[in-house]
Amino acid sequence: MPSPHFDIVVRPRLLSFLLTAALAFVALVPVATPAAAATQVCVLACDTLDPSQARQESFPVPNKDLNGRRLELHVSDADDMAWASIDNGVTGDSVWLDRSWDGGATWEGLLGKASVPGTWTGTRTLMYNITDPRNHRRGLVRACGDAAGVGCTNWVYPTVCDTLCDGTDAGKAAGDDQPVPSTTLYGRMIRLHVDQKNSMAWASIDTGGAGDEIWLDRSWDGGSTWPDGSSLGRTSTPSGATGTRTAMYATRDPRGLLYAGAVRACGREAGHQEGSCTAWVRPVPTRTRAAADALMSSYDPYDGWWPSSWWNSAATLTALIDSSRATGRHDYDWVIARTFDQNKGAFAAGVRSSDAIEGDFISRSIDDSGWWAIAWIDAYDYTGDSRYLNEAVTIANYVQQYWDPGTCGGGVWWDRERTYKNAVTNGQYLWLTTALHQRIPGDTVWLQRAKTSAAWYRSSGMINSSGLVNDGLTSACVNNGSTVWSYNQGLAIGGFTELWRTTGDSSLLTTARALADAAISSPTLTSGGVLTESCDVGSASCDDNQKQFKGIFMRNFADLAKATGSGSYQSYVQKQADTLWVRDRSSLNVLGERWAGTSPNQTDWRTQAGALEALTAAAG
């Protein structure tokens, strides 16, 4: 990643000997409390973390000589945090951080202010976050001190860098796409240009005269606000010319954990004060990356989830991991650990779910617990970190307690109260037991459970005469005829496919194919070649659960398409991705519930995650 020159020393969580030695002289120095005017920011950690916990230390700007004192700004990019220190001082000298959310025009001052006590020659502040992705704010920080006069270092980081940095000449663009119509103002043409490959943008003004102005605005919240991104690259048409352009600016700030920047081109004719702007746009480096970036704008790093849906967050994490694997990008790897660490504990009812979360992602809702087990298996496959597999085993052991052959001959109960045996919980169970066998060397127990589950599922009656999966069983243990949901169909396809891969039992593949063929041929789930939920039709609307069902289907259906190499299945996968991209996408890469683009359409992070799975399936 290009960036201004600075020296970096990478360190483990526990400071290396060198950092310990360098900071030992202030180890016992008391540090002042944060400035009251600052609202605490929590990203990977909360404001006021001790610098001894820093995973990295760099010095991205020159030190400030303040009347013979050395004022330093320390940054840990790994933590997205900074702290300040003052050395060679005397009693009473002080040091603090300033933090700005509007590009340095205003700032929160005196953060962590600390004074040098008697017998010491220096001190430091605690650590503060540089940016705030939860609230879509890109910040700047600087170190300031008072030592017979006040002085500050330069701000960090005024320049956004991704593949390229702010200010790169537009002549170096890898392409020139104009994704939204230009706007006109007194005969001038104001255009937005995008280098899609590098997620960079620039603006131009044409058919005008000297003094006309052109600039970019950049927003981290989809165009609602742009306090640190106003008038970027503002330039005037020179004498004798009819137009000009800005430099390029980045729309992604991976260092600041901001990925979904939007831009627009704005201009002004020389003789008038009013301006005109194009629509806001997010670039499209690839379909999958664009959808994932837009999804990340809804992630809450403070609490490590997508608020406010518990099981949906598990399925969304799975979608994000799948997209990372398909694209080979590692921008979002930190989200996996953050989600795990922030949610592994217990939460009272109403905090994460209407149910209490009792630790290890477990609650009275067996299927909710199952979604998290699936997510952690995916995380294990992607990262190789055994703690995720161990967590999946813990959850699966909990689910196993609710396999009950005493009712309906088998099957897992949907809830702890044992009120319902349904398709979602048993589809999860089939997939989970198979997945654990595949990943635990020498296992025989989970394999036997998977075989028992598959046999029970096929004989349970949940698969109707059309090859579609109804929602569950009645108290008399027969098909209840309830809604055919795509995710139930998908989970069954995925479970039977994986067990066939493991055992080679061709009858399992036959079942998976029959389920897939029914899904793509039946108007219950496919309309005009497009996967369609019953709540996608007419004036109906899907609830927060149903918004994500189609993505789960696509993940599992694509597994079968890949396993079999079936051209018809692969064509179906591609059809979904192509359709939703053309018919169901805004200029901000927001993707809705209705992939055919009909109205009324719903959009939120759940619909985004569902569509992302479809795009990932096609990319994979």
Separation between Cα atoms, residue 118 and residue 503, nearest integer Å: 74
Span 461-469, average pLDDT: 98
Delimit the domains of the chain by residue range.
34-152, 170-277
Separation between Cα atoms, residue 232 and residue 234, nearest integer Å: 5
Separation between Cα atoms, residue 308 and residue 422, nearest integer Å: 25
Number of H helices and E strands in the chain, helices first, is 13, 24
Looking at residue 164, its pLDDT comes to: 98
Secondary structure element (H or E) that encloses residue 530, with its range: strand 530-531
Answer CATH for 170-277 from 2.60.40, 2.50.20, 1.10.1660, 1.10.10? 2.60.40
Looking at residue 170, its pLDDT comes to: 98
Separation between Cα atoms, residue 341 and residue 337, nearest integer Å: 6
543-583 pLDDT, tens digit per residue, is 999 999 999 999 999 999 999 999 999 999 999 999 999 99
Looking at residue 487, its pLDDT comes to: 98
Separation between Cα atoms, residue 556 and residue 488, nearest integer Å: 10
Q: Which residues contact 456 (CB under 8 A, 6 or more apart)?
A: 409, 410, 411, 426
Backbone angles phi, psi at 473, to 5 degrees: -115, 150
With cut-offs at 50, 70 and 90, classify the pLDDT of residue 37: low
Distance (Å) of CA 598 to CA 238, 518, 537, 578, 602: 47, 24, 9, 15, 10
481-515 pLDDT, tens digit per residue, is 999 999 999 999 999 999 999 999 999 999 999 99
Separation between Cα atoms, residue 317 and residue 298, nearest integer Å: 12
SS3 200: strand
Q: Which residues contact 406 (CB under 8 A, 6 or more apart)?
A: none
What is the sign, positive or negative, of the torsion defined by CA atoms of 570, 576, 581, 582? Answer: positive
Global pTM?
A: 0.92
SS3 190: strand
Q: Which residues contact 545 (CB under 8 A, 6 or more apart)?
A: 311, 312
Distance (Å) of CA 112 to CA 115, 120, 277: 10, 18, 41
Domain 34-152 belongs in CATH node 2.60.40: yes
* Domains 34-152 and 170-277 agree in fold: yes
Regarding predicted confidence, which is higher, 206 or 8?
A: 206
Count of all residues that appear for the chain in the document = 620
Span 209-229, average pLDDT: 97
Could you tell me if 420 and 474 are in contact, meaning their C-beta atoms sit under 8 angstroms apart?
Answer: no
What is the sign, positive or negative, of the torsion defined by CA atoms of 156, 160, 163, 168? Answer: negative
207 Rama class: left (phi>0) / alpha (psi -120 to 50) / beta: left
Backbone angles phi, psi at 96, to 5 degrees: -160, 175
108-121 pLDDT, tens digit per residue, is 999 999 999 999 99
440-454 pLDDT, tens digit per residue, is 999 999 999 999 999
Separation between Cα atoms, residue 412 and residue 366, nearest integer Å: 8
Residue found under tokens 């209840």: 480
Q: Which amino acid is at 476?
A: A
Secondary structure element (H or E) that encloses residue 455, with its range: helix 445-459
Could you tell me if 339 and 378 are in contact, meaning their C-beta atoms sit under 8 angstroms apart?
Answer: no
Looking at residue 620, its pLDDT comes to: 82
Neighbours of 582 (CB within 10 A): 11
